[in-house]
Structures are given as C-alpha cells and as structure tokens.
Amino acid sequence: MRIDIITVLPELMQSPFNASILNRAKEKGLVEVHFHNLRDYSSGTYKQVDDYQFGGGAGMVLMIEPIDKCISKLKAERDYDEVLYMTPDGDTFNQGMANELSLQTNLIILCGHYKGVDQRVRDLFVTREISIGDYVLSGGELAAAVVSDAVIRLLPGVLNDETSALTDTFQDNLLAPPVYTRPSSYKGMEVPKILLSGDFPKIEKWREDQALERTEQKRPDLLK
C-alpha cells in the first residue's frame, strides 16, 4: 500500500509514522507513506496556500490551485483508489472503514486546515470525507495519522501474530474480553481460574461470553 498525505504541516506528521508498528510496516516494505507540503505547490510569492473566504467571515480557506497541482501530479504518476479528505463534517471513521481502506493499493489523504478547503476541491477530487469524531481539531493531520494507523496495522504481515487483528475490539462489533498476565495473584486479586485451566475450548467460550457481556454493559449500541 502507498499513502500520500497532503498537508500544510508535514512536520506534525512524521513522528507517529516513525515509531512502533507503523515503522515496522515501512521497514518490511508493506507500506510507503509520502508527505507533500502544500506550500511546495503554491505559485504565490509568499507560498500562499490559503485566503479569505468569499462573502466575508472569519477564518482562512485552503485554495484550490495548490491542491489541484499536487493531486494532479500524483495522479499522473499512478492510479489512486481513493482521495480522502479529513474534515469534522465527514463520515465518522470506524473499524469497518479501516477494513475497507486496508484493501486498497494507493490512497491520497488531504488534510483540512483553518475553515477547510474551497468546496470545489471536495466536488472535484475527493471520493470520501472522513471525521474521527464529534469534536474539532486544529487540522486534519492528527486525524490522518489516526486513520493511517488503523489501516496500516490491518495490512497482512504488519502484526506479528496475524490473528491478533481478528480478535481486536470492534472486529465483530464486539468489545474485546478482559486480558491478564503474570502474576496470577496480585495483592489478593486473582486471575479468573478458567484462564489457568489449559482447557482451550472452555477458555474460548469464556472469552466470547465476556466479550458479549462487556459489550452489553459498555456499548449496547454495537449490538443493534
């Protein structure tokens, strides 16, 4: 998979991709992530990428021209499956979307900023608009990092134990069951006996029951 991220703040984006699982995915050659600084595509003397909105009102809007130049250059180099636009008024991101996106080959992610982008960018280029929840971030960069992380960890070979993504919370619309590690007894708190029994069919059943119970208690909306 290849992800091209278009942003006015490339420096904000580097570190999440250089650590842990995302870095391992890159090193294994399973994903390439490229950052494109929108200012490099500005034709203005001051590398301007935003301007006041027509009709008046507070807040700057990202201009269409630099975005057009950047996206057109990328599209001339390869075919893209999706152009994602990160925006608080997009569809709320979830595990199902992460699964879908993980099946794609080439993605562009455009990060919104200030008051957003000129509407014509959305009309012309964007195939999917994504929000990561009902709150406002200063820009789409952190949201793009969140979406990329959720997608990249699903690529085959990224996780050590490939089955571990299958048992994630949300993967069957269920929360994950509780987990324990050593010691089996800590300050009088015991690990459930069943987990120490070695009876794997019974353990599996217990985990399923716990997942269901936890989901009923904490997220009954998932069961509808």
Which residues in this chain contact ligand 6GU in the complex, by CB under 6 A?
Answer: 86-88, 112, 130-133, 135-137, 139-140, 143
Nearest-approach distance from CB 187 to ligand 6GU, in angstroms: 40
Residue 16 or 88: the one with the smaller Cβ distance to ligand 6GU is: 88
Q: How far apart are CA 152 and CA 143, in angstroms?
A: 14
Q: How far apart are CA 149 and CA 139, in angstroms?
A: 17
Nearest-approach distance from CB 59 to ligand 6GU, in angstroms: 12
Residue 131 or 148: the one with the smaller Cβ distance to ligand 6GU is: 131
Bridge partners, 110 (sequence order): 6, 85
Residue 23 or 92: the one with the smaller Cβ distance to ligand 6GU is: 92
Q: How far apart are CA 117 and CA 18, in angstroms?
A: 28
Residue 10 or 112: the one with the smaller Cβ distance to ligand 6GU is: 112
Nearest-approach distance from CB 49 to ligand 6GU, in angstroms: 16
Nearest-approach distance from CB 89 to ligand 6GU, in angstroms: 9
Nearest-approach distance from CB 211 to ligand 6GU, in angstroms: 28
Residue 110 or 174: the one with the smaller Cβ distance to ligand 6GU is: 110
Q: Yes or no: say if 129 and 90 are a contact pair by the CB < 8 Å rule.
A: yes
Name the residue among 50, 54, 75 with its Cα closest to residue 64: 50
**Cα-based distances in Å from 20 to 3, 17, 29, 157:** 18, 8, 14, 14
